[in-house]
Structure 1
Amino acid sequence: MSISRTHLLQAFDSLLQPERFKDYGPNGLQVEGKAEVRRIVSGVTASRALIEAAIRERADAIFVHHGLFWRGQDGRVTGWMKQRLQLLLAHDINLFAYHLPLDAHAELGNNAQLGRVLGLAADARFGEQDLGFSAPAAFADGQALADHVARALGRAVTLVQPEAAGAQRQQPLGRVAWCTGGAQGYFESAIAAGADAFITGEISEPQAHLAREMGVCFIAAGHHATERYGAPAVAAHVSGLLGLEHVFIEIPNPA
């Protein structure tokens, strides 16, 4: 079974509502390919490796979280950009990309899906554009939560605990907040929302000091690792509704 590219775009837009968000780049159809779509490949980032894998899978469309075009980037089609576009255009593959709308979806988005993987049932939102999620939890301390996250995601994480860690190590964590990817700037909003710990993908220099001084644990679990669940969840959902074939392709990324 196949559907039109326009119908598929409408299905993604209806689900993710990109018009609600102020984003860093265009959401929706970024590269136009075949008019009819039968097979979708989903992935995290529109890298050359993902595009090449999608070609091998005979994909008519690729659905990703990180697309090709971002606000403020060099607009010239040279180097890596030329190589990726050349592959897409030569094989007539549509590229759909949704950034913040994919983070925010209450059931299928990156944050919702990370909560599912971690066993956290969000009951509150926080931060700019309500992208952050928060849930009640019961962990003995920051190390126990960090160990749980590491097991669930299958990778080492970075944990920064409050000052006087020896004295506070046994303090239970009653509320955990999270926001996937490069959301370290949401840490202060998470603290204001009552979090005892915050999970995101990356850490920058200021967050280590804030964690120690504010009494809230900070866990950086990897940008890719925290954002690898939303794209396949959305693509599988839409494919199922429309009767399309769908394959998720994991391109390993240590970041």
Structure 2
Amino acid sequence: MNTTTRQELLAAFDKLLQPERFKDYGPNGLQVEGKTQVRRVISGVTASRALIEAAIDAQADAIFVHHGLFWRGQDGRVTGWKKQRLALLLAHDISLFAYHLPLDAHPQLGNNAQLGLRLGLTASNCFSEQDLGFLGGRSDGGSFATASDLALHVKNTLKRPVTLVGVGHAAIKKIAWCSGGAQGYFEPAIAAGADAFITGEISEPQAHLARETGVTFIACGHHASERYGAPALASHVAAQFGLHHQFIEIDNPA
């Protein structure tokens, strides 16, 4: 097993994800500085205390996540849960790398690309700002006979219940998707001509839009739609340096 430096690892993540391209809700990159040398990298969806504790048990030198510790508009005081998480990272000298929108958008290793891969979807182009929303269809060129067929496919693939609203189209061919809390991209997906839109969450307005426009809306869970990008990208970078990598799944019903 090889080692690399924290800065070399950061440079590799930044080169792939290009965080400078994005207007985001928090800092992308190195959020907590740990030891200089890195041998073991743990990836996960969110920098929760459960993930940090599991990473400590796995003797991690660095953690790579989609949801980090710091967000715009958040109370900046280091108390309560934030103090507990930071204390664990600092006590064990573990670096925390977090990339939010850049990890969603990466065309091969990001959350949207990896979600599409698992659902058997291929993107032909992006339909929203910052290249976050993907638009395409089935990789085999076919279609889903009904919205219910597509919803069942998503449910079986991700192994969790989904919310389905709107069954207007007789066949679903043109599909838009964006992982996480991207319900606000439903209207751009409709404008792009999608027959269906897949994301993690649904809010009250989207149910009405789905019924009124005939465009299917499928919510498959925020966590469930974003658990593939972090391990794909961290594994890719770890392999470049010959590092040990492990993805740790912390279940989340949201």
Specify the TM-score bucket, using the shorter chain as the normaliser.
Answer: over 0.9
TM-score by length of 1: 0.97
Partner of 1:200: 199
Secondary structure, in 3 states, of the residue corresponding to 1:148? helix
What is residue 54 of structure 1 aligned with on the other side? 55
Q: In the TM superposition, what is the alpha-carbon distance from 1:246 to its structure 2 partner? A: 0.2
Tell whether 2:221 aligns with 1:216: no
Partner of 1:149: 154
Write out the 4+ residue segments of structure 1 that deviate beyond 6 Å after TM superposition. none
Q: CA RMSD in A?
A: 0.7
Q: What are the equivalent positions in structure 2 for 1:173-192 lying under 5 Å apart?
A: 173-192=172-191
3-state SS of the aligned residue for 2:121?
coil
Output the CA distance in 2 between the equivalents of 1:152 and 1:50. 24
CA distance in 2, matches of 1:174, 1:243: 41
Q: How far apart are the structure 1 equivalents of 2:185 and 2:5? A: 39
Aligned residue pair count? 249
Give ranges in structure 1 of 5+ residues lacking alignment: 163-167
Q: SS at the partner of 1:116?
A: helix
Post-superposition shift, 1:129? 1.0
1:139 and 1:42 mapped to 2: Cα distance? 34
Query: Partner amino acid for 1:149?
Result: V
| Correspondence for 2:86 | 85
- Correspondence for 2:240: 241
Q: How far, CA to CA, are the matches of 1:156 and 1:206 in structure 2? A: 21
Deviations 1:38-82 (A, max 9, x none): 000000000000000000000000000000000000000000000
Shift of 1:161: 1.1
CA distance in 1, matches of 2:173, 2:155: 19
- Residue-by-residue CA offset, 1:75-128 (whole Å, 9 max, x unaligned): 000000000000000000000000000000000000000000000011110112
What are the within-5 Å matches in structure 2 for residues 219-234 of structure 1? 219-234=218-233
User: Identity of paired residues, percent?
Assistant: 73
Correspondence 1:127 to 2:132: no
Q: Does 1:31 align with 2:36?
A: no
Alpha-carbon distance, 1:136 to partner = 2.3
Letter in 1 for 2:82: M
TM (normalized to structure 2)?
A: 0.97
- Supply the distance in 2 between the matched residues of 1:241 and 1:119 (Cα, whole angstroms): 27
Q: What SS class does the counterpart of residue 174 from structure 2 fall into?
A: strand
C-alpha distance in 2, partners of 1:161/1:194? 15
Q: Give distance in 1, aligned partners of 2:16 and 2:70.
A: 22
Please give the alpha-carbon distance, in whole angstroms, between the structure 2 residues aligned to 1:64 and 1:136.
28
SS of the residue aligned with 1:232?
Answer: helix
| Gap runs ≥5 in structure 2 | none
Deviation of 1:130 after TM superposition, in Å, equals 1.5
User: What is the deviation of 1:229?
Assistant: 0.1
Partners of 2:154 and 2:172 in 1: how far apart? 14
Query: Residues of 2 paired with 1:230 and 1:59: CA distance?
Result: 19
